Amino acid sequence: MGDIGAYSSKISPPSLAVVFEQLGSPDEVTRIIELPPVEIKENEVCVKMLASPINPADINMIQGVYAKNVPLPAVGGQEGVGEVHAFGSAVQGLSLGDWVIPSPPSDSGTWQTYLVKEKSAWHKINKNVPLDLASAIHVNPLTALVLLDDFAILNPGDTIVQNGSTSIVGQCIIQLAKLRGVHSINIIRDRAESDAVKERLMKLGADKVCTEGELQVKHVKGLLGALPEPTLGFNCVGGNSATSVLKFLRQGGTMVTYGGMSKEPVTVSTSALIFKDLTLRGFWLENMMMTLKRTQDCRVLIDYLLSLMQEGKLKYETELVPFGKFSVALDKALGKVGSHPKQILKFGGP
């Protein structure tokens, strides 16, 4: 554009950011530094971040074990919620103070106080959703929704089975399935407090919850009770736990793998593939959102999920941690100090 207005540019505030200059263990390679102000171009929006979660994908990206790498140095974090702080002259449809989320999730950059991106990268959301839930909606709840929608036609009365059921995706799957009248069988790992976990998941809407250990001694049929055999299974663990999911599936069923927490591969017998006609698929949100059309579809889904959260129909535990205590939240997210709810960085607060 030859328009001289494009040069009378606005400038962002300096931004405090979690930066990593090399790949490695996040508690060793990240540090918080102040990034200098940047120009806000005519089609760009400067957002003051309000909250951003620490997701496993963020950690894996810093470790360099994610399927794609960002150019270094980089700022951590891929999703979050912020408010519009300033925007360029060509930006329309946004007002100062509006809440926005990067959608699709940004490759990097949400762990900082101010973030400048093109207007098209931001999706405006309703303000009456809990901040913590809105900040983490894109990676986990959306995965749960798409897992339920994209791999089989589920009718009310059908059953799904999943492992890793206490994860946020797992908790969302339970609630979203329940909302459409779909039963859920939920496998959890053996742990001391398994009764309390069972109760918690049943309260969310789970039909059955069983530990991996129980599955070694009880027959799948007995655990199913009166529920129909599952059409669809979800695996985020691998190894024996994935095999348990496969055992539950009915003839012609599909198992979708979206994680591998045990670091063990998925093993399936030839007879299960041939005679039980099982299908194994994989799901990666990133793949799904490669096209712009899909991005628009995603935003419709995001709005649906936000409306459920607003009505109290979709929730999960989080722990809000002031940004200044990033290293504490990181240690918890890394599992160094026991089991904790999803860690959400809160900016600008006390």
Which pair of tokens denotes residue 162? 């999943």
Q: Which amino acid is at 313?
A: K
Q: How far is the CB of 209 from a second copy (least distance, A)?
A: 23
Q: How far is the CB of 63 from a second copy (least distance, A)?
A: 14
CA distances from 228 to 206, 219, 245 (A): 15, 15, 14
DSSP 8-state symbol, 290: S
Nearest-5° angle of CA 207, CA 211, CA 214?
105
Q: Which is nearer to a second copy, 273 or 292 (CB)?
A: 273
Q: How far is the CB of 162 from a second copy (least distance, A)?
A: 15
Q: Which is nearer to a second copy, 252 or 349 (CB)?
A: 252
Q: Which is nearer to a second copy, 121 or 160 (CB)?
A: 160
- Contacts of residue 56, Cβ cutoff 8 Å, sequence gap at least 6: 259
Q: Which is nearer to a second copy, 203 or 263 (CB)?
A: 263
Nearest alpha carbon to residue 39 among 103, 93, 114, 105: 114
Q: Which is nearer to a second copy, 227 or 288 (CB)?
A: 288
Nearest alpha carbon to residue 122 among 140, 110, 104, 142: 104
Q: How far is the CB of 165 from a second copy (least distance, A)?
A: 17
Distance linking the first and last C-alpha atoms of the chain: 43
Q: What are phi and psi of 205, to 5 degrees?
A: 125, 5
Active site residue 7: no
**114 vs 207: CA distance, rounded Å:** 43
Set 7, 66, 114, 258: catalytic member: 66
Q: How far is the CB of 291 from a second copy (least distance, A)?
A: 14
Q: Is residue 340 within 8 Å of residue 321, measured between CB atoms?
A: no
| Binding site residues, a second copy, CB under 8 A | 67, 238, 257-260, 263, 265-284, 287
**98 vs 70: CA distance, rounded Å:** 29
Beta strands at 10-11 and 74-75: parallel, antiparallel or unpaired = unpaired
Residues tagged active-site: 66
